[in-house]
Amino acid sequence: MKILTAQEMSEADRRSVEMGVPITTLMENAGAAVAKFCLRHYANEGTVVVLCGKGNNGGDGFVAARHLAQAGRTVRVVLLGFVSDVKGEAAAALERTTPQPDVEVLEAQSEEDLEAALDGAALIVDAVVGTGFKPPLRGLALAVRDLLAKTAVPVVAIDLPSGWDADSLEQKAEAFRADAVVTFVAPKLAHVFGHLTPGKTFGPVVVAPIGTPEAAVVSQTELHWAGASKALTEVPRDINGNKGKFGHVLILGGGYGKAGAPSMASLAALRAGAGLVTAAVPREILPTVASIAPELMLEPLGHETEGLSLELLEEEKLGSLLKGIKVVGIGPGLGQEGTTPEFVRGFVERVTLPMVIDADALNALAGHTSLLRDVVKKAEMAGKPRTIVLTPHPGEMARLAGMTVKEVEADRIGLARRFATEHGVTLVLKGWRTLIAHPDGRIAVNTAGNPAMAKGGSGDILTGIVTAMLGQHPDDVARAVESAVFLHGLAGDFATLVQEEHTVLATDTVGHLYEAFRSRVIDADGFTWIAGVAANHNKEQG
């Protein structure tokens, strides 16, 4: 699903009208969608107060109010201003709403009016201002913001929490509080990158289709939202499939005191559907790694203190290590001792299997990234394109790109895109809103996951999941990687529903992977949950 700027959204509306879908229809569908969301998720009795501005966001609010009243809810529309000031489409929507005997319309002129209007509300719908917001927030809207901050009544925002700039990557103090957001057609930048409360992830953000023709939605940014692909998680495993068909994964890593990393990557690969998983680790830690799961197979590598032997790169030895392997995950716990970095570079050069490169294997490539470009080019010329996925955190990215972490964080999108296109690789830049940059320049943004996952081991788990997904879907690299990243985040979100962010361990997320695979981001009403999907599923099941 594309991610749009406010400008692109208004162009989509304009094109939509040209293509024969009038604003009236869009507004009717938008308001109906909001009502549907409220009825399903805030089904409690009690008055719904719909706070409306005078623009089209308010128009959506009038339509929502009508549907809520028709569904039997007590509805109070509170207009910030006079009915006579409402013009155009919004006025028409208000006219379609006011014949409803059950909809009370109040014209609020003061803070006192607002306070009285909110009295006894069981649910508040924020339709004060949407994409038409021009900062700074002014007039009565300021008073509304302060009242919402004080009350515990749930708030559902239409399109955007009022006062939030659709293009802003950072939430400003201006914006209203919201517990859920229903937006339309496609997420805007703020829905994907924004924090509602600084440092805090926030509840459901859903995208409702409102009849805008697909062709009307054009995005220049090449940014899209990375959900788990239904095609990859919903389709049952081939009934005739055997373990070979689902990919034999090799996790190569580990070192003295670093048995945990390859263990966790292997465990995650097993849980993410790989047919077979082999961990190739230094002989000394082999028994420890083996103990993570009896399903795991093991291959001993040489002594770790001198680093991995370059002899392993000899054709015969490599051939025997990689026999039957479909995809390699290299790096977790590998260390940088002695010859190891040189081994990694030789491995990347010689092994043409799809490969996920993480941790110390990434560090081995710092200062040698031209190697990536060269092997990718060479393979392309030979007509056998390579699949290389790098999974750096910002520190590893900084080393790879030869810059500081601060510089990486200042332009994550630009840097990820440049690196991926220049080197012909898929780059998973981890952190708040992990980015997946594809070699063709497209970028997917992951919205699943939470601060519980900012812990050691998380990256190893991700490497295992990405490797396993690639092993199962080697011809669908982009979707396999995006799905893996999303599933990992979602598993973390499910974990925090039963534990606290402080207590969740990386291995705990593996135990919740099944819930991530099971969950659907598109609900029964056709809404796409770009945030809050775990909480929704948990509620439905509970």
Ligand X SMILES: NC(=O)C1=CN([C@@H]2O[C@H](COP(=O)(O)OP(=O)(O)OC[C@H]3O[C@@H](n4cnc5c(N)ncnc54)[C@H](O)[C@@H]3O)[C@@H](O)[C@H]2O)[C@H](O)CC1
Q: In the complex, which residues of this chain contact ligand X (CB under 6 A)? A: 9, 13, 23, 26-27, 30, 53-60, 129-139, 141, 158-159, 184-185, 210, 212
Please report how close the Cβ of residue 268 comes to ligand X at its closest, in angstroms.
39
Please report how close the Cβ of residue 57 comes to K ion at its closest, in angstroms.
5
Please report how close the Cβ of residue 149 comes to ligand X at its closest, in angstroms.
16
- DSSP states of 410-460: HTHHHHHHHHHHHHT-EEEE-STT-EEE-TTS-EEE-----GGG-STTHHH
Q: Which two tokens stand for residue 531?
A: 């945030």
Please report how close the Cβ of residue 21 comes to ligand X at its closest, in angstroms.
9
Q: Which runs of consecutive H residues, i.e. helices, occur in 174-296?
A: 189-193, 230-233, 260-271, 286-290
Q: How many CB atoms lie within 10 A of CB 186?
A: 23
What number of residues does the chain have? 542
The nearer residue to ligand X, 129 or 334, going by C-beta atoms, is: 129
The nearer residue to ligand X, 137 or 495, going by C-beta atoms, is: 137
Which of 366-404 are b and which e, b meaning 16 or more Cβ less than 10 Å from the residue's Cβ? beebebbeebbeebeeeeeebbbbbbbbbebbbbbbeee
Residue 126 near K ion by CB under 5 A: yes
**Paired sense of beta strands 528-531 and 435-437, if any:** unpaired
- Which of ligand X, K ion, none does residue 536 bind to, with CB < 5 to 8 Å depending on kind? none
59 and 89 Cβ atoms separated by less than 8 Å: yes
The nearer residue to ligand X, 30 or 108, going by C-beta atoms, is: 30
Among 29, 56, 97, 162, binds K ion (CB under 5 A): 162
Residue 460 near K ion by CB under 5 A: no
- Which of ligand X, K ion, none does residue 133 bind to, with CB < 5 to 8 Å depending on kind? ligand X
Binding site feature residues? 56-60, 126, 130-136, 159, 162, 261, 333, 393, 430-434, 459-460
- Which of K ion, ligand X, none does residue 519 bind to, with CB < 5 to 8 Å depending on kind? none
The nearer residue to ligand X, 134 or 384, going by C-beta atoms, is: 134
Please report how close the Cβ of residue 330 comes to ligand X at its closest, in angstroms.
45
Among 68, 93, 141, 158, binds K ion (CB under 5 A): 158
Nearest to 327 by CA among 250, 252, 425: 250
Please report how close the Cβ of residue 86 comes to ligand X at its closest, in angstroms.
8
Which range, of 42-50, 119-127, 256-264, 272-280, touches K ion by CB under 5 A? Answer: 119-127
Q: Which two tokens stand for residue 62?
A: 């009038």
What does the alpha-carbon distance between residue 449 and residue 501 come to, in Å, rounded to a whole number? 11
Can you tell me whether residue 476 is helix, strand or coil? Answer: coil
Q: How many CB atoms lie within 10 A of CB 11?
A: 17
What does the alpha-carbon distance between residue 442 and residue 432 come to, in Å, rounded to a whole number? 19
User: Number of helices and strands (H, E) in the chain?
Assistant: 22, 18
Using CB under 5 A as the criterion, what x/- string covers residues 482-521 for binding K ion?
A: ----------------------------------------
Binding site feature residues for (6S)-NADPHX? 56-60, 130-136, 159, 261, 333, 393, 460
What does the alpha-carbon distance between residue 494 and residue 482 come to, in Å, rounded to a whole number? 18
Please report how close the Cβ of residue 160 comes to ligand X at its closest, in angstroms.
6
What does the alpha-carbon distance between residue 498 and residue 170 come to, in Å, rounded to a whole number? 29
The nearer residue to ligand X, 181 or 420, going by C-beta atoms, is: 181
β partners of residue 436: 428, 444
Sheet hosting strand 388-390, strand order edge to edge: 223-225, 443-445, 435-437, 426-429, 388-390, 355-357, 327-330, 248-252, 276-282, 297-301
The nearer residue to K ion, 388 or 530, going by C-beta atoms, is: 530
- Which of K ion, ligand X, none does residue 126 bind to, with CB < 5 to 8 Å depending on kind? K ion
Please report how close the Cβ of residue 50 comes to ligand X at its closest, in angstroms.
13
Binding site feature residues for K(+)? 57, 126, 162
The nearer residue to K ion, 34 or 427, going by C-beta atoms, is: 34
Q: Which residues bind K ion (CB under 5 A)?
A: 126, 130, 157-158, 162
